[in-house]
Amino acid sequence: MENSLIISLLGIIIVLLFLFFSVFLVTVKTEKKLSNYLLASFLVVTAIDISVFFYGNFIELPLAIEMLRIKISNFKDPLLFLYILSIIYSNFKLKKIHLVHVLPWLISIVVLIPNFFLVDNIAKLQFLQYYDKQPEGHFLNIFGYIISLAYFLAEIYYVLRYRKLLLENYTDKNAFKNYNWLKQLLILLTIGQFITIIKNASRGSYSVETTDVLRIITLLFGVFFIFWLVFKALNSPKLFRGIDVNLLPSKEIAKETKVDKKTHQQIELLKKYMENEEPFLNPSLTIRNLAQQIKLPMRDLSVLINQNLNQHFFDFVNEYRVNKAKEILKNPSKIEFTVLEILYEVGFNSKSSFNTAFKKHTGTTPTQFRLLKIKKLT
């Protein structure tokens, strides 16, 4: 089978899969409709971009429409960025300010008006054939890479900030599902972008056969990506849970507060409450829950734990859970309790998170800890 036929078939398969999954996203019942619409839009724009590999075999677009088809790819980065924000923040809404993301596309069109859109078809065709060598093409290629890099860095910043907010406000590992999803999504899209850059750079530098092989690799990655999306949708149908858009990292809140006698009193109150009332036994405990229980503003409690005690809320609560587990593990009268029973008893909801936290705070596993303590008693 010729490479050109393989490329066309793969392109058609990917576009159809992207469009089918987009329809699924906009029709499925979910509370996160905006997120689904943004992801569907990203997939549709990507599908239009990928259609370059085969649509010429079926139709011939007017040259002006073809340029618009090429430049629609400028919407991929903004749509992905807005999608990430909509996943991170549960109360995210599109606002007029977000129209700023249309600017890269508008700039591209404006740059092309004089020497492409306002000239005859022969000049248009010549412009397209030597696009990379045109001053406008050279500028827009560099401009596109800069814009893509800016969006990529912004996405990394928000995803890492999201992780920090989760650590400072939640103890339930399930709260981190969205973070893991976004991290994996960014990694895969970065790999795909890297492959695409190599493929684009090969044009004119390598033989047609080499370029075709790189195109096939790019398209095979696209097939893998869409099947990965489907797999995620089937295995995590309740993705996605966001955080309050008004939540700030404790470091930013701490700038507005100062340590005084009241702070030390609040720390003592917090420690006594944790020891006596044991709120950490609730596996879904959040910093909001705890703040309500001890009647402290959530902002104050966040600074108290994350800045004054120099611990993430996640680690702060898990330390109490581990200490409670240690009491049970070294108690000879509770030897019949299995490690699995103990982890649920003290507030953990999975064996992996329990083992990770236990080893972090003790340097050993729960089973090893129990054996060591029992040996000392016998």
pLDDT of the chain, 378 residues: tens digit per residue: 577 888 889 999 999 999 999 998 888 877 778 988 999 999 999 999 999 888 888 888 899 999 999 999 999 999 999 999 998 887 889 999 999 999 999 999 999 999 999 999 999 999 998 888 899 999 998 999 999 999 999 999 999 998 888 888 887 777 788 888 899 999 998 998 888 888 777 665 667 777 788 888 888 998 899 888 888 877 765 554 444 444 545 555 544 455 556 778 888 888 999 989 999 999 888 888 998 998 888 888 888 888 788 888 888 899 999 999 998 988 888 888 888 899 999 999 888 889 988 998 888 888 888 888 766 655
193 vs 213: CA distance, rounded Å: 16
Measure CA 170 to chain center: 18
pLDDT of residue 240: 40
Helix, strand, coil share of the chain (percent; to 5): 80, 0, 20
Give the number of other Cβ atoms within 10 Å of residue 70's Cβ: 17
pLDDT of residue 203: 65
CB of 47 closer than 8 Å to CB of 37? no
Reported as type and span, the H/E element at residue 180 is helix 177-202
- Residue recorded with tokens 């596109």: 144
- What does the buried/exposed string (b/e) look like for 176-204 if buried means 16 or more CB atoms within 10 Å of the residue's CB? bebbeebbebbeebeebeebbeebeebee
pLDDT of residue 109: 95
The tokens describing 63, both together, are 């040259």
Q: Which domains does the chain have, with CATH numbers?
A: 3-235 (1.20.1070), 248-310 (no CATH), 313-378 (1.10.10)
Cβ contacts of residue 86 below 8 Å, gap of 6+?
A: 32, 34, 35, 38, 92, 242
- What does the buried/exposed string (b/e) look like for 253-262 if buried means 16 or more CB atoms within 10 Å of the residue's CB? bbeeeeeeee
Which residue type occupies 292? Answer: Q
- What 3-state class would DSSP assign to 286? strand
- What 3-state class would DSSP assign to 230? helix
- What 3-state class would DSSP assign to 10? helix
Reported as type and span, the H/E element at residue 313 is helix 313-329
- What 3-state class would DSSP assign to 94? coil
322 vs 346: CA distance, rounded Å: 8
CB of 298 closer than 8 Å to CB of 287? yes
26 vs 125: CA distance, rounded Å: 37
Give the number of other Cβ atoms within 10 Å of residue 154's Cβ: 14
pLDDT of residue 12: 92
- What 3-state class would DSSP assign to 209? helix
pTM of the model: 0.76
pLDDT of residue 245: 46
Long-range contacts of 141-150, Cβ-Cβ distance < 8 Å, separation of 24 or more = 143/104, 143/107, 143/108, 144/74, 144/104, 144/108, 147/74, 147/77, 147/104, 148/77, 148/193
Instruction: Output Rg (C-alpha) for the chain, integer angstroms.
Output: 27
Which residue type occupies 293? Answer: Q
CB of 49 closer than 8 Å to CB of 218? no
